Amino acid sequence: MAAGAFSAPDPAPPAWSLEQQLAALREALPAGSRLLAVSKGHPAASLRQLAALGQRSFGESRLQEAIAKQAELADLGALDWHFIGRLQANKARAVLRQFGTIHSVDSLELAERLARIAAEEGLAPAVFLQVKLRVDPNKTGLSAPELRQLWPRLQGLAPLRIVGLMTMAPQGLSRAESQALFGECAALARELGLAELSMGMSGDWPEAAAAGSTWVRIGSGLFGPKPCQL
Ligand SMILES: *Cc1c(COP(=O)(O)O)cnc(C)c1O
């Protein structure tokens, strides 16, 4: 700072602009990768702002929070709601009623339960099977051998529409390691004839998109840091 009688105050950090972040992500994402706006922890007003800009697909991981936002945004008409959180068996019916797509189906038991309830409810949800291709105590998911073994039974679970695989990279992978992991997930989806891949979050979506992700799930990189930690 130059010597002087007055020093300028530090400029305030620029306000986070949802519009600019959305535009930047749209610009950066390759054509085949769609943006799932992960809105957990963010207020309905932010979703409303994004919806006005044409973002219709939102990911939530807590049922009660999602129900409240869906009610608040009911005037916007149909939005495309994706459930991405850990799904407890006793919430399956409510999740099916509120969400057209579920990204976190991580066991045969859960898939069977969802299929039974979806049939009762007259629903045909799109489902991603969550896979775990690396050791990671913080995450659930089917291993590749488990998935291959269960695949004939999973395929028979109408009215579920199994559209793809979802995975998350463990913390601390290098960019090259994440890209290798996402590439393995893409190869597994191809092997099973599944077209969709839910891969990539704020910290690793470029690697996921490069590996063929069709849905990147972006929270903080779009909405900014969370107002409250969830
Ligand atoms: C929260 C969450 C995201 C988004 O995480 P960010 O790092 O904020 O982009 C993506 N996927 C799942 C399953 C999540 O729970």
Quick check: 83 and 99 in contact, CB under 8 A?
A: yes
% of residues, the chain, pLDDT over 70: 92
**Cα 73–chain centre separation:** 20
Other beta carbons within 10 Å of 227:
11
The predicted-structure confidence for 22-52, as pLDDT tens digits, reads as follows 999 999 999 999 999 999 999 999 999 999 9
d(CA 213, CA 52): 25
d(CA 69, CA 42): 10
Regions of the chain where pLDDT drops below 70: 1-9, 11-14, 227-230
**How many angstroms does the Cα of residue 22 sit away from the middle of ligand 1?**
16
pLDDT for 204: 97
pLDDT for 225: 80
Q: Which atom of ligand 1 is nearest to the CA of 226?
A: 8
pLDDT for 1: 46
pLDDT for 15: 74
pLDDT for 177: 98
Instruction: Provide residues with CB under 6 Å of ligand 1.
Output: 38, 40, 61, 84, 201-203, 217-221
Q: Reduced to 3 states, what is the DSSP secondary structure of residue 109?
A: helix
Domain ranges of the chain: 32-167+190-198
pLDDT for 136: 92
Q: Which fold has domain 32-167+190-198?
A: TIM Barrel (3.20.20)
pLDDT for 118: 98
Minimal-distance CA residue to ligand 1 atom 7: 202
pLDDT for 12: 66
